[in-house]
Amino acid sequence: MSPSATAQTAPQTVMKPEPSQAGQLDAAAMTFNLVPESEQEQVPGLYDAARMTQRAMTAHMVQATWRAETGWESPEMIPYGKIGLLPTASVLHYATESFEGMKVYRGYDDKLRLFRPWLNCKRLSKSNARVCLPDFDQEALLRIIASYLAIECRRWLPEQGSNLRPRQFPLGSSFWLVIPNLFELGPVVFGSAKVGASYGPAMVAQAKARENDCSQTLWLFGEKRLVTEAGASNFFVVWRRESSDIIELVTSSLDTEIVLDGITRRSILELARERLSTDSKARLSGLAPIEIIERPFSMDEIIQAQTDGRLIECFVSGTAMFISPVSVIKYADTVVSFPMTVMDDGHKTPDSPYSSTLKSWLEDIMYGKEDHEWAYVIEQQ
């Protein structure tokens, strides 16, 4: 786990913990082997281009080793650097790797918050099981992440209203081969898990998308061209139902296991049901009420909605993209365009009344403008 600035200097041990409970991931046993702040590299500014390269790293990372004979060893916060892998490591041959998407937010009240991080820990556990990696105590992992961020965010996240992205990635370092019964049942789908095997092959399609002046690939499944995800993000459409004035917010259901149970996705659906739906007792916007629907839907349905004049907006959601409206979809010889608004600075942005409202509500929770149970406040040192 590390969002981190390399510092090739002698580390300094600042505290020693109690021994770890045998075999269990134990936050209380975490050791801290830290680089003195005076010897760490300068933190790039909030709007420095270096931050966008994803090569600007904080000074430290956390690692914890699991062994089949003894279980989890004590987690260590150590200087950011290389990890040692043998050529026979299973991650290099069979993609036995998982990861999580998470951000930490510096609120307008100066507090540090994670957004529903217990769901990240739960999903990471599910992803580990999908590629035969060891399980862990989810509450312990959350405490480890919080301890790490409490230290790193002092330097890397001082500005209110900013965020930082820690990355958690278990990987297999031993050599083994498992052939589970799943492979006897037919094609194996990994869309519901955050594992490297789901994302690497997508890079070819992503390159083609950019060749066509598009920023993401809209993934369509099967002969019916069912809409699944856009890049690594969940996909939503807002339209009027055929022969009706009812407005629907539609996204692919999870029962097929081909889309990720995104935490931003889940939060959008829950907030929409609470604040925007026709059944809501406390409508909190001036928008027309909507029905929230999770079901398979096709690209043909989107095209038909545009043809009929029923298509209102489309948007994507995820940790990296957060909530972003779609301006155009290119499909074969068809171009689906959305109304645009010219902003004061001259750039154009898609009209997105529903997604922009949902985005504003979620930002209020993430940055502390709204006190909400989804926010996990980190105790700062």
Strand 104-106 and strand 162-164: pairing?
antiparallel
- What pLDDT score was predicted for residue 151? 95
Are 82 and 6 contacting, i.e. CB atoms less than 8 angstroms apart? no
CATH 3.20.10.10 correct for 213-378: yes
Note the pLDDT tens digit of each residue in 350-372.
889 999 999 999 999 999 999 99
Note the pLDDT tens digit of each residue in 195-251.
776 777 777 777 888 888 888 889 999 999 999 999 889 999 999 999 899 999 999
Strand 76-79 and strand 31-34: pairing?
parallel
Q: How far apart are CA 15 and CA 12, in angstroms?
A: 9
pLDDT at 90 over 60: yes
According to DSSP, the residues that pair with 238 across neighbouring strands are: 249, 313
pLDDT at 131 over 80: yes
- Rounded to an integer, the average pLDDT of 119-135 is 92
Q: How far apart are CA 7 and CA 366, in angstroms?
A: 31
Average pLDDT, the chain: 85
CATH 3.30.470.10 correct for 12-184: yes
Q: How far apart are CA 51 and CA 45, in angstroms?
A: 8
What DSSP state is assigned to residue 306? H
Note the pLDDT tens digit of each residue in 256-307.
788 999 999 999 999 999 999 887 755 666 789 999 999 999 999 999 999 9
Q: What is the dihedral of CA 15, 19, 23, 26, to 10 degrees?
A: -40
Note the pLDDT tens digit of each residue in 5-21.
333 334 443 343 344 45
Domain ranges in the chain with CATH number 3.30.470.10: 12-184
- Among the residues of 18-89, which ranges form H helices? 49-52
